[in-house]
Structure 1
């Protein structure tokens, strides 16, 4: 009799465990870059707000290395149960597939796109070693010194490096790329006068621009940035084809159940509309955004086609 009662209890408990709604435990949000970078700046308030909306802890896990591909690979190979998510960027999703000869994941098949959460342009900034007061003066400086003006980047194949390649190819300029291991060291040398310019991500350069230590000459967005309303776009200045904005978005492993996809998407929409989250993002030059999963997948495919064409055409390789 006792054994029968225990069996009934165990079956009931088992049904309870398996019947629990998602989420029933903490969620890991993998950031494929080290702490302190732009993705990390976005991930932490996102995780904090998602914790409130989902009712379970959302924990940021920084897994940097290999231009974001180590962290992306970790998520690609995780169970598709909604407990391991990626705060993805254009680097490891739309650029790395062409830059690297082989990847441990297929960006087109390894993930379930949920929604982008942030969008921002790059900003052309010059350091104290450059006396040019505006974009046209700087353009003339480059033309007067072919092969001598240096542009920093956070690494070969990074968003700011490929924006530099795109810019140079559109304007037919001979400039030098100086790759660094991250945006922080690149901006430090720009401030120190070791390099001349950089297409920095706006969030990484905002504080130095506001402090007057870097001079912003142009932004790469289709319209002026709300954060720098007095700085023109490159398109405004007569150069087409250099409209670039960078997204950060949430992705899950492939074949995530539709019900969980919808639940995560709905929760993230609440976060993006949260005034507190929006205030934190806009303070660093980031525009909070959201789309449907299908629209996000379309943007990923479009960006992949654009960057892969540029990379192949210009022979960009990663050592």
Structure 2
């Protein structure tokens, strides 16, 4: 080998070391804005929650969190897009109970696997639903509503805030248990649902509790029962659906933060830590409460177990009720 070639060969490892990317660490991340995919429309509760949490995280991470709304196809579009993103920490997903636990057990085929394709970072918030009816409907209890539905067969409809959502699931389970033929109307979010509920275009719907309470105080809807396993501190006088005789109608919702599988562990740990910090902020907690959700932080390991248990819980409900979503 000539002296020149020898020198070049000797320099190659040094050149490679100088030009290679530095290792990803929690200290160097993030170096640019982060995209947060929300599989829902702008202006809806998930979108607002994502922006509130994203703004709080910006102060901790020193980079903007850019909300990327990708609505449609029962959340398939947004979740699949996140699953296919580079696992570098610069594309995250806000997954819902619907997209990460219900879709896998109510559709025959979905274009992603919530357990295989994602690394869970943290659960963010959770919420209960409440059975609400228009104030003009002559019912004051779940039993009254069942009587009304049976007396008005072929005339009733119920609304949900999305096809395949906990809201639809609760409505379908209630209809089957009550022997009602009420038809389902799927809306693209809570806002259009409550608009038509107030206007009487649908005769009942399962709505986020705090949102429905605001309408009830204004005399626009009447609240009959909550879908949680126990009465809620925010509405202690409302019975549970189980207390009203419909124990199968248990539906809760949650949002969680995910990254594509393969995202470096230091990045996941940094995000988990920062999310835990911001969700302790009283101002953020107050703003989230105004959106009808409450902070419910659990870290990566606990969230992974929780998400798996949620899939199995909904799978058992599907097997018991026979409910399936449109494929």
- Shorter-chain TM-score above 0.5: yes
Residue in 1 that maps onto 2:232: 225
Say whether 1:264 aligns with 2:271. yes
Say whether 1:26 aligns with 2:42. no
Residue in 1 that maps onto 2:9: none
| 8 Å CA contact 1:147, 1:174 repeated in 2 | no
Say whether 1:281 aligns with 2:288. yes
| 8 Å CA contact 2:166, 2:251 repeated in 1 | no
| 8 Å CA contact 2:170, 2:250 repeated in 1 | no
C-alpha distance in 1, partners of 2:70/2:86? Answer: 17
Residue in 2 that maps onto 1:174: 180
- Secondary structure of the equivalent of 1:285? coil
Q: Aligned to 1:213, which of 220, 223, 226?
A: 220
Question: Deviations for 1:132-178, whole angstroms, at most 9, x for unmatched residues?
Answer: 12233223323444554321123432221111223334x34223132
Q: Aligned to 2:77, which of 70, 77, 82?
A: 70
Q: Aligned to 2:193, which of 186, 191, 195?
A: 186
Say whether 1:55 aligns with 2:87. no
Residue in 2 that maps onto 1:149: 156
Matches within 5 A, 1:1-319: 21-146=28-153, 148-169=155-176, 171-183=177-189, 184-311=191-318, 313-318=321-326
C-alpha distance in 2, partners of 1:228/1:135? Answer: 16
- Secondary structure of the equivalent of 1:290? strand
Q: How many residues align?
A: 311
Structure 2 vs 1, CA of residues 192 and 172 (structure 1 numbering), >3 Å: closer, same or farther? Answer: closer
C-alpha distance in 2, partners of 1:238/1:288? Answer: 30
Residue in 2 that maps onto 1:3: none
C-alpha distance in 2, partners of 1:204/1:33? Answer: 18
What are the ranges of 5 or more consecutive residues in structure 1 without an aligned counterpart?
A: 1-7
C-alpha distance in 2, partners of 1:57/1:13? Answer: 28
How high is the TM-score relative to the length of structure 2? 0.85
Q: Give the stretch that moved more between structures: 67-76 or 12-21.
A: 12-21
| 8 Å CA contact 1:155, 1:182 repeated in 2 | yes
Q: Give the stretch that moved more between structures: 191-200 or 133-142.
A: 133-142
Structure 2 vs 1, CA of residues 240 and 181 (structure 1 numbering), >3 Å: closer, same or farther? Answer: closer
CA-based RMSD: 2.6
C-alpha distance in 2, partners of 1:308/1:17? Answer: 41
For residue 13 of structure 1, report the CA deviation from its aligned partner.
8.5
For residue 17 of structure 1, report the CA deviation from its aligned partner.
8.7
The structure number with the bigger radius of gyration is 2
Q: Give the stretch that moved more between structures: 241-250 or 93-102.
A: 93-102
How high is the TM-score relative to the length of structure 1? 0.87
C-alpha distance in 1, partners of 2:270/2:286? Answer: 24
Question: Deviations for 1:79-133, whole angstroms, at most 9, x for unmatched residues?
Answer: 1111111111011111222333332211220111111111101110001341112
